[in-house]
Amino acid sequence: MAEQVIVCNELTKRFGDFYAVNKITFEVTKGEIFGFLGANGAGKTTAMRILCGLSYPTSGTATVAGFDVYRQQDQIKRNIGYMSQKFSLYENLTIVENIEFYGGVYGLSRAVIKERSGELIQTLGLEKEAKKLVGSLPLGWKQKLAFSVAIFHRPQIVFLDEPTGGVDPVTRRQFWDMIYEAAASGITVFVTTHYMDEAEYCNRVTIMVDGKIEALDAPQALKQRFQAANMEEVFYQLARSAKRSSD
């Protein structure tokens, strides 16, 4: 059986009487692209924060990269990468400086940073821009660079929180090429998105409604089960019944 890098069992996060995450159970396999969908306020962000070691669950168990979310948050953080639409890179540092900074944060040696950043800049075709401030790059480039930086320390899992919001369709696909490539190299990708066509790119997809996982399967299987032409239809059928929603 394939190695499980994320294992959640009845994971729950409660704020007062409000169950932001309500007994979710799922497993993510190594090298998988795992889509994490849900309406606004369904509990995606809360669940993701727990898995990234940023917040403690109320009950249930979960391990990420083999580490316990209650006791081993530091080890979890060392073994994952994270990128979101809002937070990416320092605008007033150059590309190279950003890479060096994040490499340093994860404790990579100078030699490794130097070697990998050279490779990275070459693959992204940013040789000319390497000494430019990140703030001057177009949005699409920033997002691609941010993703590269998030996996720069070769984490076991990378968490992507709406990585392609507002990005043009061409760059969006280039971004997904990078995701595929990372997955092929063995990095597990855990991704949230508002673009339903992107849900189709995932190996498996969960759809959260009101803090619970209402569906978890391969896109193809979900479409069959809900007799829908595409993932948007599947999502619509599930999320329409949502009782709650907030930002």
Partner 1 sequence: MDAVVLDGITKTYADGKILAVDHVSLTVKRGELFGLIGPDGAGKTSIFRILTTLLLADKGTASVQGLHVVKDYRQIRKILGYMPGKFSLYQDLTVHENLTFFATLFDTTIEENYDIIRDIYEQLKPFSDRRAGKLSGGMKQKLALCCALIHKPEVLFLDEPTTGVDVVSRREFWDILARLKSMGITILVSTPYMDEAGLCERIALIQAGSIMQIDTPDNIIHSYPVRLYAAKSANIYGLLKDMRDNASVESCFAFGEYLHLTLKEDSGHAVTELEAFAQQKGHTGIAVKEISPGIEDTFIRLMNQKSQ
Q: Given phi > 0 = left and psi -120 to 50 = alpha, else beta, which region is 211?
A: left
Is residue 60 close enough to count as binding partner 1 by CB under 8 A?
Answer: no
Q: Which is nearer to partner 1, 39 or 120 (CB)?
A: 39
Measured CA to CA in angstroms, residue 226 lies from 217, 229, 238 at distances of: 12, 9, 9
Using CB under 8 A, pick the residue from 41, 61, 84, 97 that binds partner 1: 41
Q: 111 or 241, CB closer to partner 1?
A: 241
Query: In the sheet that 67-68 helps form, which strands lie side by side, from edge to edge?
Result: 18-29, 4-15, 59-64, 67-68
* 3-state SS, residue 88: coil
Q: Under a CB-based contact definition with an 8 Å cutoff, are residues 230 and 24 in contact? A: no
Min separation Cβ 70 and partner 1, Å: 31
DSSP assignment of 106-121 equals TT--HHHHHHHHHHHH
Options 140, 212, 214, 228; binder of partner 1; rule CB under 8 A:
140
Single out the residue of 165, 246, 153, 151 nearest to residue 198, CA to CA: 165
- Least gap, CB of 162 to partner 1 (angstroms): 8
* C-beta of 100 vs 198, nearer to partner 1: 198
DSSP run (H or E) holding 81: strand 80-84
177 contacts partner 1 (rule: CB under 8 A): yes
| Residues in region 214-243 near partner 1 by CB under 8 A | 219-220, 230-232, 235-236, 239-240, 242
Q: How far is the CB of 36 from partner 1 (least distance, A)?
A: 13
Report CA-CA distances (Å) from 109 to 41, 45, 59, 133, 247.
40, 33, 38, 24, 40
- Residues within window 198-217 making contact with partner 1, judged by CB under 8 A: 200-201
40 is an interface residue for partner 1 by CB under 8 A: yes
Give the number of residues in contact with partner 1, rule: CB under 8 A: 40
The footprint of partner 1 (CB under 8 A) covers 38-41, 138-140, 165-171, 173, 176-177, 180, 183-184, 194-197, 200-201, 219-220, 230-232, 235-236, 239-240, 242, 244-247
